[in-house]
Chain A
């Protein structure tokens, strides 16, 4: 077993330590395990505990929650997607997928996030923004 894999299977942290490292409560660590959002602790009985991978997973769930995803939705994402989404989020800034010119010099940009909005939403948003700009133009 190489060093990295050993680190993943050997308990490194107690529930209190993993909670402190991620800034959530002990109850939330347990809650995430119960909801299968993160893997169960490794080992059994007194020897069980958490690893660096658990820390990564918790940070990932927290980020996805901040992005606006509910726990049910996160739960449905494949585990691999969770980890890669986390790594991608850390390494790359958010990508802009929609760019709609409104009036000269002003455009609407939408961050894809993890759930890109449909074209109808983008159209509606652009229309609303255009109206606001128009009304200000008139008032001005």
Chain B
């Protein structure tokens, strides 16, 4: 399969810092995890993929088109870190609105609500939901179109372990159905759930491979130690 994402020599400057400085990266199918401490550039990289980040130079190609181009807008799903939904609308009202914008119908709304397990809360106003439920509403919006590339910025923060497991199972189901899924996290213990891992620090990818490969290469027992050993070796 052709890579879902091809990034060449990407430079992003925010304020006076070069957040990304000449990044090259390909992302293919399966579930790819983007792990690194907060502030390392994960969100900036994800924003560049969905085409809402202003680039200083370099190219980002998504599904064969320039990132953010009109043709991609219904093919790429993006879930921001903060839940980007309307607090004063109910779950169903939120999804129905976004479904109209995306040009899909009631069937997709129901399917998305079921996928994030919010059937029992569908008529509740988002304001009254818990933090985890709100972020699931936000995720449900991204699932409306069964996007070919799904970009999820820390989707499992603050969720209970059972739900986290369910969501990872969902990400893998989507990946098996053919979507490329990119998930960021700053929690290292989520690393083992990914098909491929990208460890990121200070705007650069410092390790790339399956969780087992990365552990093996660094001679570490888990990803957290592998991260430390790669950072230690680099400095």
User: Are A and B interaction partners?
Assistant: no
Q: Using CB atoms and an 8 Å cutoff, list the residues of chain B in contact with chain A.
A: none
Q: Using CB atoms and an 8 Å cutoff, list the residues of chain A in contact with chain B.
A: none
